[in-house]
Each structure stands twice: as structure tokens, then as C-alpha cells.
Amino acid sequence: MSTTPISSSIDMNKEMFLKLFISQLKHQDPMEPMDNNQMMSQISQLSSLEQLTNIGSNFESMLSQQQEELHKQELMYANTLLGQQVSFIDEDSQELTNAIVEAVKLVGGEVRLVAGEYDLSPDSIISAHEGVSFEALMQQQLLVQQDMIYANSLLGREVVFYPPGADPETDHAISAVVQAVEMTEQGVRLLAGEYSLSPSAIVEVRLGQGTA
């Protein structure tokens, strides 16, 4: 909803007062002109309006400076959250949620935080604590993508690996055909025979198509 600035409102009243005062002077009865007391009273009112105009202008200037300072402080606060894990209430689930702040942006002059799939206002943050840095997060995502590409290239291939818990110095490596690739909380995993393996566990990839 739009509002009229204080000084503009006072200026309008001042202009209206001047018009009425001049009109009153023009149309006064020459035989009974406005007495001095009445004229001084109206001039005094005009002076009061002038003072109100100045006060209104100063107030608006002070208010504008305060809003600008608050905006700067909010932007500085938002930048301190970059790379940190923040806690907030998910508007849909109404549950406490954690995410890492990846970016700060301005939308229509409003400061917003990008945290995972969330677009947040800085004042919605309940708490913040050191998390994985944004650069480290990007590096992790890149490694996951590389693992996924490598894992998919092994589908249907016979691979050689040491079973989990085996000692490479004393135990023998075994082979199996990669039947599937999946993403788990542990990262990218290969399903080969009865084993779930990390791509880094593969010590050899045999040429040709494997047989399941």
C-alpha cells in the first residue's frame, strides 16, 4: 500500500493555505479590510507550516538513512552465513531443517539466502554453526559426479576387488560382474555379486563383456 511522504503532505497543506490566504486578501472588503491581528495570526500559521515542512523533510531523511543502514547490516549478516550450516523452520513441513548457505542474492532490493533447495530470508535463521565450506561442498559434488560416471562405465563389466575386510597382503582378490549402480548415504556403490562396493575398491577391470 502506497503512502504519501510527510513533507509532501505538509507542502500540500502549505500551498493550500497560501492560496486561501492570497484569495482572502484579494477579495477582502476595502471598507472593512482584515485587521492586523488577524493578518499576523495567519502569517504565524504560515510560519508554523514552514517549520513543519522542515521537520518532515529532516524526519524522512533520517528514516531513509536508518533503513539504508539496516539493509547494509542485513547484507553483512547474510554474507557471514556463507558456507555455514543454518537451522530454520521449513514453511511446508513446519519442521526444523538444516542446510548449508551456498549464495546470497538481492531480489527486488531484498536480501535472500540460497540454502540447498530453500530460498530464505536472513531473519528466518534460528541458528548457524560452522559447516562444510561452499568450496568443499562443490568439491564433494564433483567427486560424486566423477564416481557416478566411472561406476556407470563398469555396468556389465567383470571387475576384480578384495572383499570388504580382506587383507590385500594375505587374501586373494575375487572377481564379479557389476550388476547395478546405486546412490546411498555412503555415496556411489557398485553391486557386484553379493557385494556392495565403492568404485575406489576396484583394482582391475577385465576386458570384454562379463557374464552375470
**114 and 150 share one domain:** no
**10 and 72 share one domain:** yes
Does residue 54 sit within a domain?
yes
**33 and 68 share one domain:** yes
pLDDT of residue 211: 46
Give the three cell numbers for residue 206: 577385465
Q: Show the domain range for 53.
A: 6-76
Name the pLDDT band for 28 (thresholds 50, 70, 90): low
Structural domains in the chain (count) = 3
Tell me how far apart the alpha carbons of residues 111 and 73 are, in angstroms, rounded to a whole number: 11
Does residue 45 sit within a domain?
yes
**56 and 95 share one domain:** no
**29 and 50 share one domain:** yes
Question: Is 1 a residue whose pLDDT tops 50?
Answer: no
pLDDT of residue 2: 44
Q: Which one of 36, 60, 76 terminates a domain?
A: 76
| pLDDT per position as a tens digit, 136-179 | 656 777 888 899 999 999 999 999 999 988 888 898 999 999 99
- Cβ of 113: how many Cβ atoms within 10 Å? 24
**61 and 111 share one domain:** no
pLDDT of residue 70: 76
**116 and 158 share one domain:** no
| pLDDT per position as a tens digit, 105-118 | 888 888 999 998 99
The arithmetic mean of pLDDT across residues 35-50, rounded, is: 63
Does residue 212 sit within a domain?
no
The total number of residues shown for the chain amounts to 212
- Cβ of 17: how many Cβ atoms within 10 Å? 15
**157 and 97 share one domain:** no
This prediction has a pTM of 0.41
Please report, for residues 152, 197, 199, the alpha-carbon distance to residue 187 in angstroms, rounded to integers and kept in the order given: 14, 10, 10
Tell me how far apart the alpha carbons of residues 118 and 106 are, in angstroms, rounded to a whole number: 15
Does residue 144 sit within a domain?
yes
Question: Is 96 a residue whose pLDDT tops 60?
Answer: yes
Proportion of the chain above pLDDT 70, given as a percent: 65
Name the pLDDT band for 204 (thresholds 50, 70, 90): very high
